Amino acid sequence: MTKYFKTAYQFGALGGLLSGLSFYVFSLFHSDPTNLNLVFGYIITPITVFLAIKFFKDYSNEGYLSFSEGMTVGVVSFLLLAVLSTGIIWGVLESSLSLFSAIQTAKWAVLEENKEVIISQVGLASFEVTQTNLQSVSPWDIALNDGIWKIIPGMFFSIIISIILKKNPNIS
């Protein structure tokens, strides 16, 4: 069973650490690094999943890969990536309340800037609920949001990559 997880752990951990590091680096240059880090996540997640599955196929499984093996390796790698990323971002935001405050202010400015459009699309009641929710957002909420947006594309890419790299021993 450990042969399934060895590459998944390695690449998931590397992806999670890179994602957490990118959040910190983006925070040095931008007052709201959350959107930039989401974009980085859309790049690092499929790369992490691909490398974990490819290395498992080539170096642990003698060049063969079933769909279920690919999915197992892919899921473990993107879940580890998401958990590490969430933890690191939460730690950064908890240790730098000024950064958290800057992110909250930037989100508030975007909400106010698009007030008319939002009200016309979803109504005043929804806009007011969003305002209330934004006031009560915590560092954990921001970190968890980042982690969730690593899981969703991770699942999609795990399916696609597992299908593409699938090779059974009885098929030439």
Q: What pLDDT digit, counting tens, does each position of 63-118 carry?
A: 999 999 999 999 999 999 999 999 999 999 999 999 999 999 999 999 999 999 99
Helix (H, G, I), strand (E, B) or coil at 170: coil
Which class for 121: exposed (0-12), middle (13-18), buried (19 or more C-beta within 10 A)? exposed
The pLDDT of residue 168 is 76
How does pLDDT run across 110-131, given as a tens digit for each residue?
999 999 999 999 999 999 998 9
For residues 8-23, average pLDDT = 96
- Check whether 172 has a pLDDT greater than 60: no
> Are the C-beta atoms of 141 and 133 separated by less than 8 Å?
no
- What pLDDT score was predicted for residue 25? 96
Tokens of 90: 């939460």
Rounded CA Rg of the chain: 19
Q: What is the pLDDT of residues 45-59, one digit of tens each?
A: 999 999 999 999 999
Residue located via tokens 């069973």: 1
Q: Coil, helix or strand for 65?
A: strand
pLDDT at 5: 85
Report pTM: 0.90
Mean pLDDT over residues 1-24, rounded?
A: 91
pLDDT at 15 exceeding the cut of 70: yes
Reported confidence tier of residue 4, pLDDT bands at 50, 70, 90: confident
